[in-house]
Structure 1
Amino acid sequence: MALALKIIIAGIAAYLLICLLIWAFQRKLMYVPQKHVVTPYMNEAPENMKPVSYKSRDGLELKAFFAPPADKMPVIIYFHGNTGIVSDAAHKMIPMAKAGFGVLIPEYRGYDDNPGSPSERGLISDALGARDLAQRLCPNAPVIYYGMSLGTGVANALAEQIPPDALIQEAGFTSFIDAAREFYPFLPLSLMMKDTYKSEERIRSLKAPLLVLHGERDKTVPVEQAGRIFDAAGSKDKTIKIYPEGRHVDLFDFGASNDALDWLLQRFPKGE
């Protein structure tokens, strides 16, 4: 009996220690910034994309990359995932830039050589600053938010505060709590997580057109969450595209770039 009690106590202690460690280091697990300085020219990128700077709403000086739109065309603000940097994202925007869309890719705080440390509040402040920059650079252009993975949580938070003219979600989640449960189903995550990115709640207020892109074989964020995001969205003009062989980061290998561009051109014809 005494041995069994010791085993139970040891098990409880080990569980609590795991909870404490994950709580303490959760942002190290959530955000994986790359620190080396890069430009989009190190990978494929729109030819007219140039570095610019912007200020987050809480005053941090941050870097971004910008390709201006053709006359009367919208600007796409692209928010990348938790392990990405702007140079990795730039090549995805080539078809959009060639079609005349402007592209703004803000880099998050703590990523690349930007100051600060990433958090939900911080990245929302960064997104608001990027939206301010888009307004200054192209004051009369429609603005589209495009989020990938973590970037969908950022885009949804921004859309709740400043509605876009359209929203694209690639490999998005209902909340960071739901996404984390796929990896830590044994933890009380709703009590532990500091940054929750509750996209399913935030997207209910969306009125703009919505495109949801997701892979059937996504092991990071199950495709079921894409359906929940789609159903929750308040928009009357919404489309969901599921790629049977797609995983979390490879949807463009299955034509997502062309699908997104076709969807955009249906709603924002060139020069109109």
Structure 2
Amino acid sequence: MKLAINLLLFFLVFALAATAILYTQQRRLLFPAPAHYPLDPPQGFRLVHTRTDDGLRLSAFYRPAAPGQRTILFFHGNGDSLSGAIQATRGPAAKGAGLLLAEYRGYGGNPGSPGEDGLYRDGEAAVRWLVEAGVAPHDIVIVGNSIGSGPATEMALRHDVAALMLVSGFSDLPAVVRSQFPFIPGWLVRDRFDNAAKLPRVKAPVFLMHGDADTLVKPDNLARLRAARRDATVALVAGAGHELAYGAPAQAILTDWVDTLR
């Protein structure tokens, strides 16, 4: 009996310790900022800096729109950088769309540590920068890839923008975590990014694009987002995984859709 009690106490302490580690260290796993990032903008872009309401100065790449074109505000995924953002927006860039490729706190040499509230502050700073640069909200198309779907949805909810596109987006972050690690309870996930709850209140047109072979943010997320926003335009790309945003099919879909908004 004493041995059984000791074993029970051991497993209880182990479980509590593991829970504490998961709770306190999870953002290191959720936001794996690349160690290498572009220091100089590519041709056609310039390095700009946004300022958050909590005092952070964040880098971003910007290129103005050609006459008559919209401007895309792009939020990249959790393991990406501005280099990947350039690749994920090359289609509309070739057609003359304006681009503000936002970078997050803790990424790309920026100060601060990422988290849900922080990414919303970073998104707000990016929208504010565009407006101060003379781009009206109704000329802004917001695009969020993967975890970028969180700040993208929040900004589209707060501002009267032209449209919102989620690429490989999720219904909420705890659902993604549960699908990968069923033993982790949803309440343990500190950052929620509850996109499905917000989509019905977004006034702008919504486009949902997903790969049917995505094993990270599984296609059932697309189903939940679509259920939350019945009038959304939907594209399920055959054979595409979580790298969907960078492929030619996604570029064609994004470019054509932005063209229809003019």
Please, what TM-score do these two structures have when normalized by structure 1? 0.89
3-state secondary structure, aligned to 1:109: coil
Q: Which residue of 1 aligns with 2:16?
A: 16
Amino acid at match of 2:125: G
- 1:160-206 deviations in whole A, cap 9, x for unaligned? 2123210110111111111111222112232x222111111111201
> What's the counterpart of residue 256 of structure 1?
250
CA contact (8 A) 2:177 2:184 kept: no
Task: Answer with 8-17 or 259-268: which moved more.
Answer: 8-17
Q: Which of the numbers 215, 225, 238 marks the counterpart of 1:244? A: 238
Structure 1 match to 2:114: 118
- Gaps of at least 5 residues in structure 1 are none
What displacement does 1:127 show?
0.4
Match for 2:7: what amino acid? Answer: I
Superposition pairs for residues 89-168 of structure 1, below 5 Å? Answer: 89-140=85-136, 142-168=139-165
State the distance in 2 between where 1:122 and 1:233 align.
26
Aligned residues: 261
Q: Are residue 173 (structure 1) and residue 170 (structure 2) matched?
A: yes
Shift of 1:20: 1.1
The two structures, once aligned, show a CA RMSD in angstroms of 1.8
Matches within 5 A, 1:65-80: 65-80=61-76
CA change 1:83–1:117 in 2 (3 A) is same
Moved more, 138-147 or 19-28: 138-147
| Higher deviation after alignment, 173-182 or 133-142 | 133-142
Deviation at 1:132, TM superposition (A): 0.7
SS at match of 1:52: strand
How far apart, in 1, do the equivalents of 2:114 and 2:64 lie?
27
1:2: how far off?
A: 4.1
2: CA distance between counterparts of 1:105 and 1:5? 56
| Cα distance per residue 1:12-70 (max 9 Å; x no partner) | 332222111100101111111124451465xxx6x411211111122211110011101
Mapped pair 1:221 → 2:212: no
Indicate the residue corresponding to 1:188 in structure 2: 185
CA contact (8 A) 1:217 1:246 kept: yes
Separation in 2, partners of 1:125, 1:35:
23
Percent of matched pairs sharing the same residue: 28
Determine the C-alpha separation between the residues in 1 that align with 2:53 and 2:68.
Answer: 27
- In the alignment, the residues of structure 2 paired with residue 91 and residue 252 of structure 1 have an alpha-carbon distance, to the nearest angstrom, of 6
CA distance 1:51–1:258, change in 2 (3 Å):
same
SS of 1:89 mapped into structure 2: helix
- Structure 1 residue ranges, 4+ long, deviating more than 6 angstroms after superposition: none
Residue 182 of structure 1 aligns to a residue whose secondary structure is helix
Instruction: Give the aligned partner of residue 200 of structure 2.
Output: 204
Is 1:50 equivalent to 2:38 in the alignment? Answer: no
How far apart in 2 are the matches of 1:32 and 1:91?
19
1:72: how far off?
Answer: 2.4
Shifted more, 4-13 versus 108-117: the winner is 4-13
- Tell me if the contact between 1:76 and 1:145 (Cα under 8 Å) persists in the aligned partners: yes
State the secondary structure of the residue aligned to 2:13.
Answer: helix
| Cα contact 1:215–1:242 (8 A) shared by 2 | yes
Code of the residue aligned with 2:130 in structure 1: it is: A
C-alpha contact 1:34 1:84 (8 A) present in aligned 2: yes
Structure 2 CA distance for aligned equivalents of residues 242 and 261 of structure 1: 16
Counterpart CA distance in 1 for 2:248 and 2:19 is: 39
Question: What is the CA–CA distance in structure 1 between the aligned matches of 2:215 and 2:249, rounded to whole Å?
Answer: 20
State how far apart, in whole Å, the 1-side matches of 2:36 and 2:213 are: 31
Q: Deviations over 1:96-135 (max 9, x none)?
A: 1121210100111110111111111111111001001111
CA contact (8 A) 2:172 2:194 kept: yes
Alignment of 1:29 with 2:29, yes or no, is yes
